[in-house]
Structure 1
């Protein structure tokens, strides 16, 4: 078998349109040059052994627009949503408003909103996991009435289509805010949506209602969604910024 070749990485910089473009270069046993832009914006080049750094620089210049485009895309990504904590004083959201978590003692477990506090009262102290589970249960109890109110706000936008009014249900989901079965006009929404502003909830519900007309995420779907809710991207971004 031929021996593999891999030289130590080297740092290179070239000038492109009045700016510096830096990259890490490594020579390997390969036939073609490879380009990679990582989420931190760093550029990594794998070049065939036997080629020169000058030749690689020429290839980087040819690929510079592609590299910069990907660097900008990574730089413009929204910051990861903060992680929720379940200790006293931790912020938690309900209908878009932040509340501080406070614990109290009571004969039975209850969750109430008072002023700027979300109060969890229980007979005995809770672990973080137990607190999280109790909050999930409370969100689910609030969800039904809030989802019904959202449908009252959203559904008039679909009057022109003469559709069957959908049935809403609450379902915990790991990776989605909602789902729709067009055939039965059934829409399932995550109880976590009660943490967001009503406008965010309306966006998700409208999104699922649009699937009653267009089942996929094609251009036709987004054209319809934009016509019915022109600023939907704003609410999507706000929703995805909620602490996970």
Structure 2
């Protein structure tokens, strides 16, 4: 049986809305064109053998908004980081500071910060999954007031836009730190954010507030974000380096 046709890949680039869009193109024995955006943001295009690179470029331009949307989605996901451990003495973070985990016996489960320790109390020894759930509930309980304080720091930067102040919600999110619905002015933030320094929380909240002005992740969006927080990349990197 003959091997399917597959030519060597081409590395192409084109301009779309003042943004450089690069992709890897391969011609194959297929009837339709296919697009894929990888987690690293790279774009891969498989086109039917016999079509031209110029025709493919036209199809990429038609798909550009979809491609940029998926690249932005991957870019905003927390990067892989070391995994948290839940035995006594392991490090856990609160507002960017490390605390040693210590277990004590008590009638009711509780979590408290004492000195440089994060103390978890329970009536019986806990499994790691139980400790994780207890800590997560504690983070969620602390999150509301801290999110409000962050908004008080961030919101004055948007004074010139005459926007309605957004409503904040604590929301568990597995792959994102936050999300925004511009139409309703609702911003959802992960309670895990309070493990990071307040500057990291401010970065995420400012990012979501920028969507109240620019709904997508275009160049205009990042220009605005950089204008309002020039060092946002520093805080993004620090946030994504937290143990997951």
Q: Which runs of 4+ in 1 moved over 4 A?
A: none
The TM-score, its normalising length taken from structure 1, stands at 0.70
1:129 maps onto 2:129 in alignment: yes
Distance 1:159 1:31 in 2: 55
Structure (1 or 2) with the larger CA radius of gyration = 1
- Give the CA deviation at 1:80: 4.2
What SS does the corresponding residue of 1:156 show, helix, strand or coil? Answer: helix
Instruction: Tell me the C-alpha RMSD between the 2 structures.
Output: 2.2
- Give the CA deviation at 1:140: 0.1
In structure 1, what is the equivalent of residue 72 of structure 2? none
1:95 maps onto 2:70 in alignment: no
- Equivalences for 1:88-237 in 2 at 5 Å? 88-237=88-237
C-alpha distance after superposition, 1:18-52 (max 9, x if no partner): xxxxxxxxxxx86633599xxxxxxxxxxxxxxxx
Distance 2:87 2:136 in 1: 15
Distance 2:127 2:10 in 1: 48
- Between Structure 1 and Structure 2, how many residues are aligned? 180
- Give the CA deviation at 1:118: 0.3
Distance 1:213 1:80 in 2: 30
What SS does the corresponding residue of 1:243 show, helix, strand or coil? Answer: coil
The TM-score, its normalising length taken from structure 2, stands at 0.70
1:33 maps onto 2:8 in alignment: yes
In structure 2, what is the equivalent of residue 239 of structure 1? 239
Distance 1:229 1:31 in 2: 46
What SS does the corresponding residue of 1:81 show, helix, strand or coil? Answer: coil
Q: Which runs of 5+ in 1 are unaligned?
A: 5-28, 37-78
Give the number of the structure with larger relative contact order, counting CA–CA contacts within 8 Å between residues 6 or more apart. Answer: 2
1:86 maps onto 2:86 in alignment: yes
